[in-house]
Structure 1
Amino acid sequence: MQLFWTFLKIGLFSIGGGYAIIPLIQEQVVHQQGWLTEKTFTDIITISQMTPGPLAVNTSTFVGMQIDGIPGAIVATIGCILGGCVISISLYQFFQKHHESLYVSSALKSLKASSVGLIMSAGFTILLLTFFESSDLSTIGLAAFDWQAAILFAISLTLLRKFKPNPILLMVITGFIGFFLY
């Protein structure tokens, strides 16, 4: 039940979805519940990004699997999507009624800005965990910096921005390289 309620809360309060939800999931499963370490959580986020489907749903499934096997995966996934389904249906009905309202348009603009902040926070957390294996700024030091990860990141970013290769191919290649580096 605790797994269901935790992911129901996550599903209900996951404004922005995708990467914006990562800090909320991390806060719940790593810091509050203590179910996972930051390293395991980062691994789950990485796997969730590579598998088809929404990031929040994939993450809830993998966390549930880690905690309680297949029953945990089912319960966490249902908890995660139930809130979104109810909210989506309610919002659809609301927007059908108020689609021309200036107030509704203003609220949506501020939600977009908030989502960008959440996405940037998630990206920063993933970078810290990748380069320093910690997201706690007070424990980060140059001695813990992973130069191999930084170089692989810089090469991947350069390739993506300059040559725009297929991202799946790039993930396969970097995964292969990481297999030998680590």
Structure 2
Amino acid sequence: MTNLLKLFISFLKIGGFSFGGGYAMLPLIEKEIIDIHGWMTASEFIDILAVVEMTPGPIAINSATFIGYKVAGVWGSVVATLAVILPSIVIILIIAHFLSKFKDSLYVEWAFRGIRPVVLGLILSASIGVSKNAFIDFKSVIIGGVLFYLISFKKLHPILGIVIAGTIGALVY
């Protein structure tokens, strides 16, 4: 099986079985890219996530684009990006068609309420997975902790936080 087909199938699965957006997809992306296919190391994945976070646009699409490019060049990025968005497009078209019929259904409301904790769990899983590889020493823990505090509680703009972290990282490392 060619890398393009493997990329398509992997990102089609990621796009089809992830709920809650890009952060919720990260554990699935990590498993497919690092554990199953070995297309990159955990360190390379963290580096790509850093670029994905700073790039405008959805995390899942940016991840697919960058990872696809790393694995199979321009065509890899096209295939991975199309594969990750295809399930969402199909699902949205189906939902739009039937929504007026079921919009007041208690079962639909209950289903969405049940999905919320799963999404939170996936986001927490992604955070833990990324932090295992991002916090390489005590200095990185301090930098991450201080910036988390400033962004979360002092309402520092995230872009400014990225600039500060990059500057400190360049000076310290």
TM-score range, shorter chain: over 0.9
Matched residue type, 2:20: G
In structure 1, what is the equivalent of residue 83 of structure 2? 79
Partner of 1:160: 151
1:95 and 2:99 correspond: yes
Given candidates 109, 116, 129, the residue that maps to 2:113 is 109
TM-score norm. by structure 1 comes to 0.88
| 1:169 to 2:173 alignment | no
Q: What is the distance in 2 between the residues matched to 1:92 and 1:114?
A: 24
Query: Residue type matched to 1:28 in 2?
Result: E
Runs of at least 5 residues in structure 1 that lack an aligned partner in the other structure = 133-145
Deviation string 1:77-116 (CA, Å, 9 cap, x unpaired) is 1111111111111122232210011111000000111101
Q: 1:56 maps to which residue? A: 60
Secondary structure, aligned partner of 2:56: coil
User: Deviation per CA, 1:5-29, whole angstroms, max 9, x where unpaired?
Assistant: 1111111112112210000001111
Report the Cα distance in structure 1 between the residues aligned to 2:10 and 2:144, rounded to whole angstroms.
33
For 1:45, the equivalent position in structure 2 comes to 49
How far the C-alpha of 1:163 sits from its partner, in A, is: 2.2
Give the alignment's TM-score, normalised by structure 2.
Answer: 0.93
| 1:26 and 2:30 matched | yes
Deviations 1:53-80 (A, max 9, x none): 1000000000011111111111111111
- Residue 180 of structure 1 deviates from its aligned partner by 2.4
- Root mean square deviation of aligned Cα: 1.2
Residue 142 of structure 2 is aligned to residue 151 of structure 1:
yes
Structure 2 residues not aligned, in runs of 5+:
none
Letter in 1 for 2:108: V
Pairing partner for 1:3 from 7, 30, 39:
7
Look up the equivalent residue of 1:174 and give its one-letter code.
A
2:116 and 2:109 mapped to 1: Cα distance? 11
> What is the identity percentage for the equivalent residue pairs of Structure 1 and Structure 2?
40
- Specify the alignment match of 2:18 in structure 1: 14
CA distance in 2, matches of 1:123, 1:95: 33
Structure 1 Cα separation of the partners of residues 149 and 24 of structure 2: 24
Structure 1 residue 166: Cα displacement: 1.5
